[in-house]
């Protein structure tokens, strides 16, 4: 690593600006507006987001996952219920999401409380997944140590044979969570690192808006 070159890496952000008067009244509407713009700009996997969780004593971890549903209630994603992230959520339900769309020089931070969704909702989503993804949910002991890649491939082959002529049901240890937001921050890159940051925070049963210094 050449640290001198690293320290000289710079990018000026000049595409857009973000003012308090221009944002929507409700943060989910502002999110949907920016998400649609990301899709229309052909951003690579615009629904990719970083999920940060932590243990009961605050030790954090982050990973990239995919957003699968947005409603006024919150943001839904799916995973193995025995994974590290799921164990973190059980210990400490507070979490954070981060969307970053460099093509638009934008990011969105979302903080909130994470809960399991209903088994029926998880069943409905699992039913529309590709067959390979369904088999993968059965085969992967997510976050557990495995001896090698061959072991994983063998498990998937075994389940493929088991479900050859059968309907693939959702495994009980796989399903969805929803993050119910209490805070949003919309970040628009600007020149000289003087970025625009607009925060929505939920207080006294309403969403409030304020500008943050970059």
- Domain range enclosing 37: 13-127+172-212
pLDDT at 67: 98
**Full-model pTM:** 0.94
**Residue where the block lists tokens 């507006």:** 33
pLDDT score at 175: 98
Tell me whether residue 192 is in a domain.
Answer: yes
Per residue in 101-112, pLDDT tens?
A: 999 999 999 999
Residue 204 resides in a domain = yes
CATH number at residue 113: 2.30.110.10
Q: Determine phi and psi for 93, rounding to 5 degrees.
A: -75, -5
- On whether residue 181 sits in a domain, the answer given is yes
- What is the band of 127 on the pLDDT scale with cuts at 50, 70, 90? very high
Find the range with the poorest average confidence among 43-47, 63-67, 139-143.
139-143
Q: Is the pLDDT of residue 10 over 90?
A: no
Number of folded domains in the chain?
Answer: 1
- The answer to whether residue 50 scores a pLDDT higher than 90 is yes
Predicted pLDDT of residue 8: 85
* pLDDT tens string 24-37: 999 999 999 999 99
| Domain presence at residue 7 | no
In the predicted model, what is the mean pLDDT of residues 112-128? 98
Which DSSP string do the residues of 123-185 spell out, in sequence order? HHHHHTS-HHHHHHHHH--TTS--S-HHHHHHHHHHHHHHTTTS--PPPTTEEEEEEEEEEEE
At residue 4, does pLDDT exceed 90? no
Of all residues in the chain, what percent carry a pLDDT higher than 90?
94
Residue 138 lies in a domain: no
Query: Is the pLDDT reported for residue 6 higher than 90?
Result: no
The residue from 193, 197, 206, 211 that is catalytic is 193
**What pLDDT does residue 85 have?**
97
193 is catalytic: yes
Q: Region 89-96: what's the mean pLDDT?
A: 98
């Amino acid at each position: 690593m050449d640290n001198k070159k690293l320290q000289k890496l710079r990018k000026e952000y000049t595409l857009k600006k973000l003012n308090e008067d221009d944002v929507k009244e409700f943060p989910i509407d502002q999110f949907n507006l920016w998400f649609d713009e990301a899709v229309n700009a052909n951003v690579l996997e615009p629904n990719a987001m970083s999920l940060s969780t932590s243990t009961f004593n605050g030790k954090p971890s982050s990973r990239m996952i995919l957003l699968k549903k947005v409603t006024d209630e919150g943001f839904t994603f799916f995973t193995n219920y025995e994974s590290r992230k799921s164990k973190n959520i059980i210990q400490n339900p507070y979490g954070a999401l981060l969307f970053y769309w460099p093509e638009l020089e934008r990011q969105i931070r979302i903080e909130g409380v994470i809960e399991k969704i209903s088994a029926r909702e998880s069943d409905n989503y699992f039913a529309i997944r590709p067959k390979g993804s369904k088999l993968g949910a059965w085969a992967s002991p997510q976050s557990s140590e495995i001896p090698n890649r061959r072991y994983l491939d063998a498990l998937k082959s075994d389940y493929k044979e088991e479900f050859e002529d059968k309907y693939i049901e959702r495994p009980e240890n796989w399903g969805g969570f929803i993050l119910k937001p209490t805070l949003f921050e919309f970040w628009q890159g600007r020149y000289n690192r003087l970025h625009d940051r607009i925060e929505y925070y939920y207080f006294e049963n309403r969403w409030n808006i304020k500008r943050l210094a970059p």
